[in-house]
A and B are shown apart, each in its own frame.
Chain A
Amino acid sequence: MSTQPRPSTPRAPSPQQAPSPQEAPSGRKDGSPRQGPRTQRRRRRGAERRPRFAIAVTALFFLLLYLPVGVVVLFSFNAQKSLTVLDGVSMRWYTALLHDDVLLDSLGMSLRVSLVAMAGSLVLGVALALGLVRSRSRLGSFAGLIMLVPLITPEIVTGVAAMLLFKGLGITLSTTTVMLAEITFSISYVTVILRSRIAALNPEVEEAAMDLGATRGQALRLVTLPALLPSILASAVLIFALVFDDFVLAYFTTGVDPQPLSVRIYSAIRFGVQPTINAVGTLMLAGSIGLIVLALAIPRLFGRRGGLDLLSGK
């Protein structure tokens, strides 16, 4: 016992410690008023050493993560056209936006597409998720398989495929085709999110409802769906934000006029920079960040678990 902590004392001057710069400062600064034998305390601290390098990289990462976003927001208020020199503050580009009918049309179209895709994918996705968890038919394993396809296929492939399908069927690309493609793409997300939630529900509650005389449909409507409501709402918000921001799929399935906002931004960026884009971008950033924060907060607003676990990964 007593020999174990001993070697910790000569650790500091040992050659292994020499190249680690974080040893000396952290050893002293972390000095909590904890009592104990000197050697033991030292070992403790050694184990709890702050990973300075990792923390420095994280700080730099956060800086670079938010720098581009900050630049867009900052220059949306620039009085001049420049993208490198700030020259006074003005709302000039926002007012320009209000008079840009093309952009406003695109905004309206994006909102319509997002709403329709949200509604459509929720109806299909919730039903699919329920079926996937509860049904043991062979259709379920097939559905479970194809539902994963959009998640492991790059968007450019699904985009090309959807475009070829519509053209092959002789359907002119339009707002409707964008909606259809976005619904297809969103069903997977709804299903993945809700599937784990449904699996986590206690099926005995449903059975209790049926023992009390409810039919299976009533149990589903009166017991299961209300229990899933926070998750459904959270995925609705998430789908809205994802579809509104989606570019690749919209790019391949949109017609001539109007085009979704992200497609419009794409052509604006490609053919010379326009400062209005900073203003549109800022509004879009604010909108989607607000929606995502809302999606993350919904389970908390309901005061119960069962919302959207974005953070725990798939």
Chain B
Amino acid sequence: MATRSDRTGTAVRTPRDPAAPKAPPGDRTGPGAPPRTRTRTRTRQPRLWTWLLLPGTLWMTGFLVASLLLVATLALGTTDPLGNPRFGLNFANLTALADPAYSTVLLRSLGYALITCLISLAIAYPVAYAIALRGGRFKNLLIAAIVVPFFANYLVRMYGWSVVLSDDGPLLRALRAIGLADDSTKILQTGVGVIAGLVYGFVVFMIIPLYAAMERMDTSLIEAGRDLYGGPLRTFLFVTVPATRQGAAAGCVLVFLPAMGDFVSAQLMGGPDQIMIGNLIQDKFFQGQNWPLGSALTMLLMAVLFLGMLGYLRRTRKDEAEAAR
């Protein structure tokens, strides 16, 4: 029991539940605590714990919240003739975003990020399925083998991936050998290359939540599906996928967020005509020196992602409401 609760990360709750079902979860005072201790903790607890909260909160407010607010305000600013940013109340940057050049890039970023999500799903489902249901005692080892390289330097991995995908790299050579590609086939400098980079960079974010969902899934459902004459594909589509859709939704958010903001993949795998919104932002801050416009683009990115998050939250809330019923 102990190992089980440890694995799922939900801690000591399970072993105690049958013994004290009426104790509300989250009650930390303990039902049997004598009144004397209780009054003592009541008076001292808030002060110490609140003091502990203070430095971190101040730090995060000062560096994070303030800096994000600064981006939002600068999006309404202007640049003076010398190129220095000036604060103001100017909507020119926001209207400039309507420029078709920007909307093309935004749509491309959205499209690439969505395709990245779909491909990641297509990879993560079989991988998570195979490991969660057939991994046996190698489960944790296999998952660690996926997670560990993901923590290695993003640039080095991307660079290695670009070497693999290069015109005379191992992948294209292998494809040519089996006749699936000819000499003119290219992966780098195309949209395919950019998406391949994004998938390689973020597919782990899809595998982990899906794996967690599959682990939690009641496998007798799959057997039931088979017993009811579902073929492997039908059982998968009508049993496994619905049972793990929350994991898939979480994975999609976790892949979509960084994929939208990424600028390394488009730079290394794509060309000048494959840039994404991240490259635009980077360009406005480093080459163009137009910080207000860069800020406006950053806010645009945030707005798109915020809408996506809202959709996800509504979805999960609906799921939770259904589960609670």
Contact = CB atoms under 8 A, between A and B. Distances in A.
B260 to A, nearest CB: 6
B63 A84 contact: no
Nearest to A147: B60
B166 A269 contact: no
With a 10 A CB-CB cut-off, give which of A14, A123, A127, A289 has the most chain B CB atoms: A127
Contacts of A58: 126-127, 130-131
Contacts of B12: 200, 202
Given A247-B264, A292-B148, A143 B295 contact: no
B46 to A, nearest CB: 6
A1 interface: no
A149 B70 CA distance: 15
Interface stretch (A87-95, A98-106, A177-185): A177-185
Nearest to A136: B46
Contacts of A200: 11-12
A130 B153 contact: no
Interface string B216-259: 00000011001101011100000000000000000000000110
A135 B148 contact: no
B166 A72 contact: no
B168 A211 contact: no
B63 A128 contact: no
B117 interface: no
Contact of B227 (A47, A242, A309, A313): A47
A25 interface: no
Most B Cβ at <10 Å: residue of A22, A70, A285: A285
B57 to A, nearest CB: 4
Given A180-B63, A181-B63, A312 B157 contact: no
A172 interface: no
A256 interface: no
Contacts of B164: 64, 67-68, 71
Given A46-B226, A165-B66, A157 B151 contact: no
A51 B170 CA distance: 28
A124 B229 contact: no
B107 interface: no
A131 B8 CA distance: 24
Interface in B188-204: 200
A312 B8 contact: yes
Contacts of A54: 125-127, 129-130, 134
Nearest to A15: B231
B56 A69 contact: no
A156 B156 contact: no
A185 B186 CA distance: 38
Interface residues of A, number: 110
Interface in A120-177: 123-125, 127-128, 130-132, 134-137, 139-140, 142-143, 146-147, 149-150, 152-158, 160-165, 168
Contacts of B106: none
A313 B208 contact: yes
B294 A160 contact: yes
A111 to B, nearest CB: 14
Interface string B151-169: 1111111011101101011
B232 A22 contact: yes
Contact of B52 (A71, A127, A210): A127
A203 interface: yes
Contacts of B285: 160, 163, 252
Contacts of A269: 155, 159, 268
B129 A72 contact: no
A216 interface: yes
26 contacts: A51-B129, A54-B129, A70-B160, A125-B56, A127-B55, A128-B57, A130-B49, A137-B50, A140-B50, A143-B60, A146-B61, A152-B309, A154-B301, A156-B278, A157-B298, A160-B294, A161-B64, A180-B63, A211-B37, A265-B153, A265-B159, A269-B268, A280-B156, A285-B152, A312-B8, A313-B209
Interface of B: 2-3, 6-9, 11-12, 28-30, 33, 37, 40-41, 44-46, 48-57, 59-61, 63-68, 70-71, 74, 123, 125-127, 129-131, 133-134, 140, 143-149, 151-157, 159-161, 163-164, 166, 168-171, 200, 208-209, 211-212, 222-223, 226-227, 229, 231-233, 257-258, 260-264, 267-268, 278, 281-282, 285, 291, 294-295, 298, 301-302, 305, 309
